[in-house]
Structure 1
Amino acid sequence: MMRSTPGKLATLILVFTTGVMMSHAGTKADSLKSIANSQQDSLQADTYLALARYYFQSEHMPDSMIKYAQLSASVAHRFHRNLRELKGLKALGLAYTEAGNFEAAEKSYAAAMAIAQAEKSIEEIININDKLGYLFGKANDLTKSAYYYLNSAKEYEKLKDYANLATVYRNVVVIFTLQDQPKQMRLYTDKAVGLIPLMNPEKDAEVIIKTYTTAAQRYFLLGEKLDRSAMIDSALVFADSCLRVAKRRGINFGLAEAYYIMSQGYMRRNETSKGFEYANKALVYRKEVPERTVFILYTSLAKAYLEQGKFALVNVYLDSSRQLTTSKELDAPLLIAEIRYTMFKKMGDAAAALSALEEVIVARKAIQDQERVKLINDLEIKYQSELKEAKIAELNQQSKIDSLQIRWLVAIVVVAGLLVIVMVVMYRQSLVKGKLKIMETEQRLNRARMNPHFFFNALTSLQQVALKQESGISVASSLAGFSQVMRTTLDSTFDEFISLEQEITFLTRYADLQKIRYPEGFQFVIHHEPELETHEVIIPSLILQPFIENSIEHGLRGVAQGVIKLELKVLGNELAITITDNGTGLANKANSSVDHTSRATSIIRDRLYLLNTSRKTNARFTVSSGMHGTGVVVSIFLPLMYRHEDSPHRQ
């Protein structure tokens, strides 16, 4: 009877275990397929989605994932299950991303985004932005990747989801690291760390550890790149913070990352004993960190022992590093060869040093060849792109030649159309000129009948004064003021503009006449800048009277101590006029008052329209309530115009 050796027994166990695992995997996939085949409703979409996820997570088979993600989205679409279709499209986008078909992935995510926006699902919109960030990161389009990650960041910030916000910032840090933008890399590192106090210490412990790890790694990288010891110190502080959280929560990958960074930091500071201590502690948890990190630990220890002349230990750690898969990737072979060359050179073994130097040369050449291949590939892509552009240009040229006759016909039609348009424009201009002439005539009528009932009211007031007062001087004075106001009003029918000085004089006399009608009285205050040439500056005639009248007749009614202020000042090329009163305000006015204001503003608006049309200006006015809802504020802006072109102020 044959006895099984330990090696054969181990082989049998391995074969048995593999068979069981494969059988289990096959059973799960077959079970899901069987369930899907038996379903005739929208639940079939969920089963296909479960199959897609299985092939991605357990088997990592993008082609199978694509197949079942497509089936999931198709079934959900057929049954009008939007959110299920959205999930299928997201799975399809991820499958295409892993398969390297980035264009198809982007289309799938675009379709998913359209559903998410239609459903107004903020969480799904954020999730799709995250996946687009990952997609363009894989496609090496780092600008777009950062764009989508930062879109997610905006939404997480609104939701105050600080853990996911910190995760997005860490992804952005990776992008700026690859783009060699240290300033931006540090900015988003600090932003991520700044979110730690806002997170839940228990629920978000892993995110906190990863954030501290990212900060420690980036500050260490910046310290080496910029040769700044202060940044190495900061990296050690972040690593220590990571270590404390990992110990408290019992999270091994956090311990491994913290010990690894601390070993590198102390090695960089030439504190070799501490570097050894933390490197060995990190190796205890080597299964918790990426293999590349373990490789760096081994080579770091090899270099440290090389400095101490402990060549046996150098070989031990170099042998350990060569056992790793990553020892054959990127710059790893070159790093190993350089350490061996330096070691043999220190040992005085010329033959071995020469052999190691040849390894260095071969490794460097491999890297250069790899960079050369990448450059050639980039040139090939550029060449193909230029070929496509040239082909498109050729097709466009052929299209132009083929459509030449059509263009001639189109040109004839266009010319005929232009002639028709010119005729229509000329006709419309004649209509506009006619309308302007009508409006100008109406403007004269408006000025002539600015407020006819004022004159009747004023005459009644004068009659009352004549009956009550014994002295005729007061009556004569009031009558003289009335005649001057009436003359100015009638003259304005023909004078389009008057000087600011004339307008102020008219308003003062007008206010004095109104005071006869209102025994309780009111103050009319006029203020303008001393340098304002009131005798030279001109404005449309009687443009301000309707607003002053409205303040007196309606705004100050029932107010014991009414005040109307008129302020004039120059702002650039405009004359700014402000009329304020302390009356009842717009909100408290009766309907009659509002109607009166509407009539006054309508007349002024027409006058300003004519002014703007004829002078190509931007004259305008606004009416608003005063502070605390009392009083009215009228702001008028007129172009700064002068009676004479040679006015000193104008010059």
Structure 2
Amino acid sequence: MNYSLKITKIFILSLLVTAYQNSLCAFQKEPDVELKARYDSLNEDFNRYFFSSTPSLSAEEFGLSFISEADRLMKDVDKHERPDLYFSVKDIVYYYYTFQKDTIMSFTVLNEMIRESKELGLPRVEVNTLNKKGVEYMVLDAHDSALSNFNKAVYLARQNGFEELLGYTYNSMAIVYQKMFDFQGAMRKFHQALIYLSPKKNLGMVAVVHGNLGGIHSYLQNGDSVIYYADKLQALNKQLNSDRHTSEALGLFMAGSYLIKNYKQALAYADSVAGMIENGRYTGALYNAKYYLSKTMFELGDRDAAYALAKEAVDLVHANGYTRGEIQYVRWLIELDKHFGEYEIALNRSELLAGVLDSLNSLRSEQRLQLLLINNELENRDKDITALNTHLRIDEQRIYYQNLLIVLGGLFSVLLFTAFFVFYRRRVTLQRVLAKEAQSRLLLSQLEPHFVFNAMASIQYYLLEGNNVNLALGYLQKFSRLIRKVLESTRSNLISLQDELDTLNFYLEVHQQRLNHSFTFYFEVDLEDDDYSLLIPPMFVQPFIENAIEYGVKGSGKNEIIVGFCQEGDMLIVTIDDNGPGLGNSHVKSKDHRSQATQITLERIDVLKKLHKREASFSVVNRQDNEGVVTGVRVQLKLPIFNNPI
């Protein structure tokens, strides 16, 4: 098993067990004595089977007995009166399938829990379940699906003030970014996790986050930052007294000392790490210690010792299947081979390194395939636009010939004219509805090329200027997820508010990374009954967010965009606030572009009014403080809410 995947699975398993233990204490009401006793018995059976070294039953016998008893208990529990007991039983069933590595049934149970928690109005249960679902996808390396579930959990947690769940979710998202080699994204999410994690309640998790941040800076060779996080980890571990954290902190101190060229201090920390390993207390940091010790000995002039240590480090990481570490250590060993004049050995190692790199090329091939699929989708969109234009011309010709037939019919007979006129009015009304519907789809499609080409330009800029293949591939993957969301949204006349929020979040994250995080963004949602499934017309908000990015907050300074959603009866009020220079300070080009977005939106609103007889409007004004100084631009959209698909 790949070493990094093994570590990830161990970490995830600890989270699952912790969440399971917490669920046992989640009863808000005292359940019936009999039901509580049956649950305790089920819990004891679970622990006895999975945590006992010698289980008394076979896997098949235990599974039949356990699932049957769990099903009977769930049928006897009223989930409306005892939701905590009901979902605790569901949790233990989910953990059973997880421990049995039955991925299909694990997802089946999680999907049932999400659906039932929505029906019962239990957002905390829904957030917890979304996190578990995201973790399942994370173990499977399905990064898009994992991040999608974590983002949904973030929305719900923010809406309901579940700060401790936000800390857990951001930490999980950071692990996903770390597995994708997007270290900047991982550091950003780890820092967000620290905002919401309390050292009093989540000391162990806080220590893990600091250790992960130190490891990332070690990989990026930021020596001062490595020592900073090692100090943080060591201070936290005074309360935890964990061998794992002690060894990790010593390893970080050793790496940081080497990176700042304090070689004597690095040797001292290496001796401390070796002492722990010799006592058998913790061996996980052995290969990393040997790697940095090898580099330190080389700098101190003991080249033979450096070579021996480097070879031991390579053998260890190869045995553990730690691909990223193996690449790093083999490159160092090749440098040492060249230093000793062993060029043939260096060549052989280079060929071995090429084989290791092949395992990473599959990921890059997948990213290229995604780009080809996107291009294919864009070509299909162009064909759709052409077809819609043809359809509009045909409708206009039909209306013309129908008018001509009416005029000719009126010459023959007033009665015939009257009868034909009634037929004409009905037919024309139908054709106009169809024409307006096609026009609405055409205008929506016309928004997409401009939107997509801007995003493609962002990718080109990132690839040319960033000069980092791994980050570029991560950015491309974000862009592919965004394109898929946009294409899915524009296939329907109406989409759910949740889907619109997902699309806007992906869109803002892409631009945020393109602009080196020169701005922040927030969503503020205030809905009746927290109903994210309400239906609205798609892609009304995106053009104004694009204007806010390009002509409001793009540049230096503490820039931010706040997107608010507020329900007033059967209308959704959307506000887009930025702290840019305002309308009066915009350049001519930005005015032209803003007017283009305004014209497109006016046309779509006109189609919406004529086609569905629903009101919609928008306004764009400067924001001002108490002294009349312009502090940015506010766009307010009023969109109709639909209860049923059209």
Query: Structure 2 length normalisation: TM-score?
Result: 0.43
Query: Structure 1 length normalisation: TM-score?
Result: 0.43
Larger Rg: 1
Q: Whose RCO is larger (CA < 8 A, sep 6+)?
A: 2
